[in-house]
Amino acid sequence: MHELSITESILQIANDEANRVGATQIKVIRLKVGAMSQMVPDSVQYYLDLLTRGTIAEGVKLEATVIPVGATCPDCSESFLVENYDLTCPRCGGTGKITQGRELSVESLEVEK
């Protein structure tokens, strides 16, 4: 259910930017979504469909790029993708620190003026 509040925030960002540039319609919202964010793009699209009725964003489509979980080893500086929540460095066996995969950001909009 946290997708509703996330969707409201995404929509506020999109509306603010659309107003700033004088857009008459928001057609596409592009997001970067970290694999660890637990955000479900289909749920966000569902809420967008409900929340945008009668607005300049009615009919907006969500495009989400999922960012995989990545880590860097503090011992040897190796960067690697994390699979199955295993933070073991493939080079030296140290424990990596997560460096990507928690993102959730509006990357761009497609609008009509």
Confidence of residue 38 (pLDDT cuts 50, 70, 90): confident
pLDDT of residue 111: 98
User: For 84-93, how does the pLDDT look when each residue is reduced to its tens digit (9 = 90+)?
Assistant: 999 999 999 9
The mean pLDDT value of the chain amounts to 96
pTM summary value: 0.86
Give the start-to-end residue ranges of the domains of the chain. Answer: 2-112
CATH 3.40.50.11720 fits 2-112, yes or no: no
Rounded distance between C-alpha atoms, residue 31 and residue 29, angstroms: 7
Q: For residues 71 and 85, is the Cβ–Cβ distance under 8 A?
A: no
Rounded distance between C-alpha atoms, residue 4 and residue 21, angstroms: 26
**Averaged pLDDT for residues 15-32:** 97
Rounded distance between C-alpha atoms, residue 77 and residue 82, angstroms: 15
